[in-house]
Structure 1
Amino acid sequence: MSKLITKLSITATALMLALPVQAQDSTDTATPGADTVVATVNGTEITLGHMLMVRAGLPEQYQQLPADVLWNGIMDQLVQQTALSQTDDAAETKRVTLALENERRALLAAEAIAVVAEEQVTEEQVQAAYDAKYAAETLGNEYDASHILVETEEEAQAIVEELNGGADFAELAAEKSTGPSGPNGGSLGWFGAGMMVAPFQAAVEEMEVGTISAPVQTQFGWHVIRLNDTRTEEAPALEAVRAELLSELQGQLVENRIEEVVGAAEVTRMAPGDIDTSLLNQLDLLED
């Protein structure tokens, strides 16, 4: 039912926005605010604040519409909902009561989290987070490698022998490799840990610069690898990751606050072993 109401609300807004804008009755807007009454339905007030909350929750495709276009659609939606809510059919069932309780709980929790998320993160905290995340000892190695990909181990072993005999790696790659890097001499460019499939990555990390590997099998076939160079991964500039670090620090503040509040609360909870968890599937219980 709640999903249906939400869908109807969005649909009603969309339909109303498609209608021509009607002239509005004049109202006292000398000192407009969230409590300013903009309409009444059988004596029930609809305020500017109610309209603002609908406006804030509109689907993305309506967010950029000008206010004079949105006004009637939002007003009509609220008038319709208010009138419907006053009918005898609009009983406050257990489903509605529980949904309202959950919504109120979620909104209040979001307000509490917003307060924590807005706490100022100091420059010292940002720098410390940057240093911890991008300290030299935490940075991995990057590898510049080339490979020749063929279908069988025998083909790969024959290529190893040709290379050991002095054949040019790039020429053999262009001639024999079935991989997309073949025309480019087999070059894969620079890559870091975890960027290649595991057998290939493991082989590269064991190699010395300038050496040729024994045939390495992956799901793509058999590879002959040459390690061209290695380097330590470079840390990004602080400004390039500042937003990311701020988000992580603020997220940590929120997590700490949640742990603090829940830890201080007197909580009792029923464990899955204490109840038949299949009850979660019995949505008909909401109809009692």
Structure 2
Amino acid sequence: MLNHHLSKTAIYSLSLSTVLFLSACGGNDEGSADDNNAYDPEGEEIELTYVAWDSELASTNVIGLVLEEMGYNVQLTVVEQAPMWISVAEGDADGFVGAWLPSDMASEYEQYGDDLVDLGPNLEGNRTGLAVPDYMNIESIDDLSSDVVDEIIGIDAGAGIMLATEDVIEAYDLDINVVPSSDAAMTAALDAAIANEEPVVVTAWQPHWKFNSYDIHFLEDPQGIYAEEEEIRTMVREGLEEDHPVAYQVLDNFYWDAEDMNAVMLDMAENDLSAEEAAQAWIDENQDRVEEWKDID
């Protein structure tokens, strides 16, 4: 079973549903990495960090369980966006699979990227922006005003999409507040508004299960402030390949698509499964893909 850890900062800012992932973390028993072909990682500890977005709950739990299948004791530590990068850049954690680039986490990449190893995309074609229910009958950010809504429901303060949304407010001269919350709180607000067919605008990204569960759409962004095509990359600490060659290669091999990620998130949202349960269900149904990730040279 995956070990989940909650940072001090996150304890005060994350929703109760995320806090329930907290459990004790295990010990660390390092092994030798001299011979990759004979290398057995049994009992060694790998720590992955992630932000508490449903997308990263899905990806981090999936790859964490795969690493456990390879013999590692895996600790998953939930943090905020900047600490996720800092912990790996400073070597305090081993890696993360939730680097939204090139724009959403551009600031962190510029500041810490030289101190990490970029293993490239694990998912391509993702997108960020503002979303509204279809019944609102507006198609563009140009259509927004304080007569439509008085606030935009966001996520974590400091997240890349929140900084971009502040730029949107200025560029489009909108008299609308951007309200920080969390992925879970933002989705709850969206759900409540849709239930009453009320106007609502939320920060949004795809993949995300809400696009499968609700009739919502992105607003067009004529000024191009949000990037239409992004990718999610895997970042690891320097020295991981030497210290844990099997984990390094599994993380390097990790690649899936939006439909895969959405399948895990939908199991969490609609079937009331924990992130770990939904990840295991996906793994059980996609053994061919998982075996490709576990293919070690």
- TM-score (norm. length: structure 2): 0.21
* Structure index of larger Rg: 1
By percentage of residues, which structure has more strand? 2
Higher relative contact order (CA 8 A, sep 6+): 2
